[in-house]
Chains A and B, each alone.
Chain A
Amino acid sequence: MTRDEVLNLYFLDARSKLIDLAAFLDRVEGSAGEDDFRVRSFRAALRHLSESEREKAKAVLLTLSDPTTEPLEKATTKGAAGAWPQFKS
C-alpha cells in the first residue's frame, strides 16, 4: 500500500486510539494513589512511539515483557498483569 492508502485506511482509527491513550493517562493521573509497575512500563513503552526505530510494536511488547530466562519455582497465580511486576523504569 502507498502511504496515502495506509492513512486513508487506518488514520482515523489510530487517531481515536491515540486520544483514548491520552484520556487514559489523564484518568490515571487524576486518580488517587501512585504509579505502579504497569504505569511505569506503559510510560516507558510510549517512548518508543516517538523514536525513529522501525519495529515499534515489537519494542513496545518487549518493554511490557518479563526479560528473565530462569523458570519460576512455582506458579502461584494463573493470570498475567500485562507488564512485568519487577519493571523499574
Chain B
Amino acid sequence: MRYIEPHAHMVSRVTDDYAAMAMAGCQAVCEPAFWAGFDRGSAEGFRDYFSLLTEHEPKRAANFLLPHFCWLCINPKESEDLKLADEVLAIIPEFIDRPNVLGIGEIGLNKNSRNEIIVLEKHVDLAARFNQLILVHTPHLEDKLKGTRLIIDLLKNESRIEPGRVLIDHVEEHTAPLVLEAGFWAGITLYPQSKCTPPRAIDMVERFGAERLWLNCACDWGKSDPLAVPKTALEMRTRGHSEEKIDFLVYRNPCRFLGQSPVFKLS
C-alpha cells in the first residue's frame, strides 16, 4: 500500500515514527506550521521554526527516503497579538521560495476572534500575492462550526482565491458538507479522541464522495497516531472498499491537490 501523509507535525515526533510511516507505505510527509504547545517569545522564534521546517526536518525524513514538504504561517492560536503576527508575516517571504514549501498554512481560526480574522485575511492576501496554495485549520470542538462558516465566508469574498487551491482541514459531519459545497477541498483528521475516528471518516467518504477529500493523522505533541491513515485504509479494506478506491483517497487525492504546487514532486 502507498499513501501520502498530508498533515503531520514531525517536529513533535521521534525518529521511530518516521521509520514506522516509511514501513507502512508512506511516500511523502507534509508538515504545516502550527502552535508548538507554547507561545513563542518573539518573531525570531518563528524564524528558527521556519528554518527547522525547511532545513532540518527534510534531512530527518530523508534518512527514511521520505520526501518532506511544509507550509508556513503564524498559527491562529498565536494570532491574537497583531504586532507579533505582522512581524512573522514579514518573515514568511524570506522562506517562501525554499524547495519544500507548498504554501501558506495551517492558517485559520481558533476562538473565532476579530484579531484572528484580521491575521487570517493577511495570510490569504499573502497567498494570493505569491500565488500559493492554502491549508486551513478549523477550530476545535464547540468552536468548529462557527469558525468554519466564518472562514468560508472570508475565502468566498476574496476573488483572487480559487476554492480548488484551498484545503479546509479537520472537517466533521457538521462541517464537511459546508466546505465541499463551497468548492473547497476538505481534510479529515484521524484522532483518538477529538476530531474523527476511522469508522466516522469512512462513513463520510461513503456519504460525501472521495472526489475532494483527504485523510491525515495530524500527529503532534498531543494524543495522536502517526499511522492513523494506513490504519484507516486497512479498515476501508475490511468494509469492502477496493484497492483502487483506497489508493485514490490516500495517495492520488493528496497528489492531485498538492501537485498544484510546482514544488510537490515525487521521484
Binding site for B on A (CB under 8 A): 1, 5, 9-10, 55, 57-58, 61-62, 64-69, 71-84
Task: Tell me the bound Cα distance from A72 to B117 in angstroms.
Answer: 10
Residue of B nearest to A14 (CB): B199
Contact B143–A80 (Cβ < 8 Å): yes
Residues on the B chain within 8 Å of A83, using CB: 141-142
Q: Tally inter-chain residue pairs, CB-CB below 8 A.
A: 79
When A9-B239, A61-B173, A65-B174 are in contact, do A75 and B150 touch as well, CB less than 8 Å? no
The total of chain B residues at the interface (CB under 8 A) is 30
Q: Which residues of A contact B150 (CB under 8 A)?
A: 69, 71
Binary A-proximity of B186-215 (CB < 8 A = 1, otherwise 0):
000000000000011001000000000000
When chains A and B are docked, how far (Å) is the Cα of A55 from the Cα of B115?
Answer: 34
Q: Which of B35, B110, B146, B150 has the most CB of A within 10 A?
A: B146
In this complex, what residue of A is CB-closest to B143? A80
Q: Which residues of A contact B35 (CB under 8 A)?
A: 78
Main secondary structure of the interface of B (DSSP, over half): helix
Q: Give every chain A residue within 8 A of B7 (Cβ-Cβ).
A: none
Contact with A along B138-170 (1 / 0, CB 8 A): 011111111001100000000000000000000
Q: B199–A73 contact, CB under 8 A?
A: no
Given A72-B112, A78-B111; A65-B240 close (CB under 8 Å): no
Nearest opposing residue in chain A for B235, CB measure: A9
Known: A66-B146, A75-B80, A78-B110. A61 touches B172 (CB 8 A): yes
Q: Are B141 and A75 in contact (CB under 8 A)?
A: no
Question: Is B15 interfacial (CB 8 A cutoff)?
Answer: no
Minimum Cβ distance to chain B for residue A45 (Å): 12
Q: Nearest B residue to A79 by beta-carbon distance?
A: B140
Contact of B111 among A1, A64, A72, A82 (CB under 8 A): A72
Cβ A58 vs Cβ B174 within 8 A = yes
Q: What's the Cα separation between A67 and B144 when bound, in Å?
A: 10
Q: Are B200 and A77 in contact (CB under 8 A)?
A: no
A80 to B109, CA, bound (A): 12
17 additional contacts (CB under 8 A) given A65-B143, A67-B146:
A58-B174, A64-B141, A65-B144, A66-B145, A69-B149, A71-B113, A71-B116, A71-B117, A72-B111, A72-B112, A72-B113, A72-B114, A75-B110, A77-B111, A80-B140, A80-B142, A81-B142
